Structure 1
Amino acid sequence: MRQKKKILFVRRPLLGGGLENRMLSWFKFLESEYSDSVEVMLAVPQEKISVFSGRISSKIKLCPFVFKFGNFFVRFSNFFAFLKNLSDKPDLIFFAMGGFCDFNIAEILAAYLVSRGNTYISIHDIPEDPPNKPNKRYFGFIPALELWWWWEILQYKLRGYMVKKIYACSKKSLKQVKKWFDFLPYERFDVIYHGIDTNRFAPISNEEKNKLREKMGFHKDELIFVTVCRLVKWKRVEWVIKSFCEIMKTESSRKKMRLIIVGDGEERINLQKLAKKLNLDFLINFVGKRGDVDIFLKISDIFVLPSDKEPFGIAYIESMSCALITIGINKGGPTEIINSGIDGFLLKDDFNSINQFMKSIISIINTSYGKYIKENARKKVVDAFNAEKNVRKFVEQLISYV
């Protein structure tokens, strides 16, 4: 019997967001298509196992490890020992990195040695530019060594020599990633787009929407705004709440409205306090982190998420797939998803733009133009961001490297 090839996926930190969901789709496809030839292993920090517990097949081998912060030697020896002590030695190691700095040269070198050079990374972030070397001089002519700068560059830049390929989550992300690895040839890079289940995230009829709203305790005549995200500062959900407040001042006498916020995070308490301060807590529903995000999108009309630094933005394609009017900021990942004025709207990166547009969008929601936007949004996602198609393309490429 032919021995199975072993692929080890490595992830830290785990936030239970888009990247974790994406990894689950990889695992599901690998199990359905390659269970006879490939064994999937997943290395996660010991304290974060709960993020995947109950969400992955029993056939996937969980390999908890203790992540140690510290100098190069501490990190290298710790991760190298973890990999060497695995009962099943991986043929390929793949680092799924939510942040550019999740793993530095220490962990990548350890993986390079254990996998005999068959190591890959994906970066789901838009990294900052590499820091410029300071031009400090002593006594006006003796150049400073600036060892901190050399280490900052080397611990991340040298990773490029240790991996066979670097994946980014969007073209915007890839452009920034290449600035760090400008010495690598073009073929060492690729983009792997997120995808979603377009059957699950699909529009429903007005009749179905009204029944679903009634079942969930919402009025059938309400205009519902929705945002879906992790509640952290850079998602700027406070902009949405403040804009909703402004709309209520001018539109409340003519139209019933509601704002649903799906997600959880460190800013939730502050956002709830803001809603209460604005006397809108009875019209803003904080529903927390949900496994039925699609249901909340299907009962809504307008999706708004003015993120400051979205690497890609899976929430936008989920919204568009459900044929909602979708609003984002004209920067980062959303610029690769939304064709403004055609299948959604991208606005200037300031609060006033969001505030004014949320007021004006109400007038087009049920017009022929509004219908045109929603139909194009659905078509865009079905054609370009279908999970099955994108997952298949990536996984089959990965399998070819084993």
Structure 2
Amino acid sequence: MRPKNIEEVVGQQNLVGPGKIIRRMVDAKLLSSMILYGPPGTGKTSIASAIAGSTKYAFRMLNAATDSKKELEVVAEEAKMSGTVILLLDEIHRLTKPKQDFLLPHLESGRIILIGATTENPYIAINPAIRSRTQIFEVKPLTEDDIKIAIERALSDKTNGLGSYNVALTSDASTHLCRATNGDLRSALNALELAVRSTTPENGSQEIKISLPIIEECLQHKALVQDKDGDAHYDVISAFQKSIRGSDTDAALHYLARLLASGDLISVNRRLLTIAYEDIGLANPPAAARTVDAVTAAEKIGLPEARIPLAVAVIDLCLSPKSNSAINAIDGALADINRGGYGDVPAHLKDAHYQGAKILGHGTDYLYPHDYPHDWIPQQYLPNPIKNKSYYEPKDNGRYETVLKEQYARLKKMQKSKK
């Protein structure tokens, strides 16, 4: 089911959609080497295959960890003869220096268009010599709608998919297949294939009925609850956050258990990090930091042990003082930006590190705070139209933010006294 051309790629439309960067490269036939990084099953290999199919260049696949320099030499010889070869190099973060040194001149000549694939952060895991010769693109987990499109294609494609089978996929099974794979299309298609090929038609019928229990078995991932609208997943996550926000420890642990019983570690981790900064925030910053540590530990050890640091974090957040002042402050600032009319940056704050800035009056009246007592001096920072605007409204729900409130008020008063 891999796409044969760029139009068939499912998801990643921010990269391959009309007018987007990779589509532009393909349409103009001006390909450059690139690194695609992101979680498994999100389309890195598919994008490489689609690029090759759309450009008609030869396409080869190697693994940086397991394939030797000799295999790279074979690709290089082919590139010399045929002109250009697109090389998908999986696990590029494990490329050794001898292999890298061999590849570099071929990348610079353009004979090999390298598409490196990795689940690691390339800015940390990949050698600078390779990074400097490639463009780096992040691929993200597919949405449920993306996976649903791919599943429907697989069920209707008689050549490459499961179209030769008479499959009836129930709506709740389809929803669970799209949702429980957390954006990993490979896992979704593998589970679907296993379900179809291992299910016998009932009572002599030719129809293969794929129900929710079958998909759960093939995915090894239980649904939260069987509901006709498919909203239970979001309902439980919503109840989880609202229980922590409301400081109900027992309810929060109950909903945590329901999420973990379904195997949905990813949603728990993402939601906990959001809660820590949205609902606890400045009332107790150390709790947010401890939540990051707990989530990191959960990701490293996985289920079932992950339940332990996550339970610690949930109890910690439930019993912590709460404040949503930070999210309110940034949302207020964004609202002003979206409305427009917020004015120009004051001249004394503009960049003065270039020739001619002084003539324009940029930065000339700037007061450097570190030159003054207590490293502070009153001056205007906001644009004129909103110079008296206040976004942050501190709360008294924790010692830390109480101190911030006092400091915020004191600085505001001193700033106004200058006028």
Instruction: Report the TM-score when normalising by structure 1.
Output: 0.31
Q: Which has the higher strand share?
A: 1
Instruction: Report the TM-score when normalising by structure 2.
Output: 0.30
